[in-house]
């Protein structure tokens, strides 16, 4: 039901060992997954310091906070005061704008955040664009039962976790100041309007 390539066409090209894992289990185990992925990288292409691997073509502006484990792929750009933590993978040509926080997430090739975005515990496809201030919430702070459910084609599934953001399909567009609630599933080429609140699991 949540076959990742239906949403992220090239996901298994980057992560062939994750074929048996649903998205929410990947984000739960992402620190060890990224740490193992670093061991597979070509040391001629990346500068590796501890658990942080940065491709030699990537541009990292001043004031960025990077916490391991982390992979920043070729031709990425990370703007000033961005904060990447909790296990992050940035695909080729990804752009992270100023003041963005990315936590425990995989972001596909040529995707972009504008500025002041939060993406937590999520899998993001290729060529996805987040306008300024768009957020992916990863936790139900307001609920007594914080367990996250997902819904695809009207079928609800209990993930069994209390932290999971979204699965955002390739070529999706997320408008300024939109909020994706925990457990959001977006098909490829989805468009979320500015200021829209998505709640798929009320």
Which residues are tagged catalytic? Answer: 115
Contact at 8 Å (CB) between 86 and 31?
Answer: yes
The first and second tokens of residue 200, run together, are 């798929």
Find, among 78, 55, 74, 75, the residue nearest to 65 by Cα: 78
- Bridge partners of 54, per DSSP, are 47, 72
The 10 Å Cβ neighbour count of residue 139 is 16
Which residue is it, tokens 């390539």?
5
Query: In degrees rounded to 5, what are phi and psi of residue 13?
Result: -65, -40
Give Cα 33 distance to the centre of its chain: 14
């Amino acid at each position: 039901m949540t076959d990742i390539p239906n949403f992220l066409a090239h996901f298994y090209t980057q992560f062939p060992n994750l074929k048996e894992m649903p998205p929410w289990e990947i984000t739960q185990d992402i620190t060890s997954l990224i740490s193992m992925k670093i061991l597979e990288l070509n040391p001629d292409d990346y500068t590796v310091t501890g658990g942080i691997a940065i491709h030699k073509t990537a541009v990292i502006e001043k004031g960025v906070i990077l916490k391991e484990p982390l992979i920043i792929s070729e031709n990425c750009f990370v703007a000033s005061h961005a904060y990447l933590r909790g296990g992050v993978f940035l695909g080729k040509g990804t752009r992270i704008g100023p003041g963005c926080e990315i936590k425990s997430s995989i972001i596909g090739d040529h995707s972009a955040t504008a500025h002041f975005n939060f993406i937590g515990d999520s899998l993001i496809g290729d060529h996805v664009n987040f306008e300024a201030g768009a957020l992916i919430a990863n936790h139900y702070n307001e609920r007594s039962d914080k367990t996250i459910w997902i819904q695809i084609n009207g079928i609800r599934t209990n993930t069994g976790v209390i932290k999971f953001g979204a699965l955002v399909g390739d070529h999706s567009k997320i408008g300024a100041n939109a909020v994706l609630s925990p457990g959001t599933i977006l098909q490829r080429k989805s468009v979320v309007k500015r200021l829209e609140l998505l709640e798929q699991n009320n």
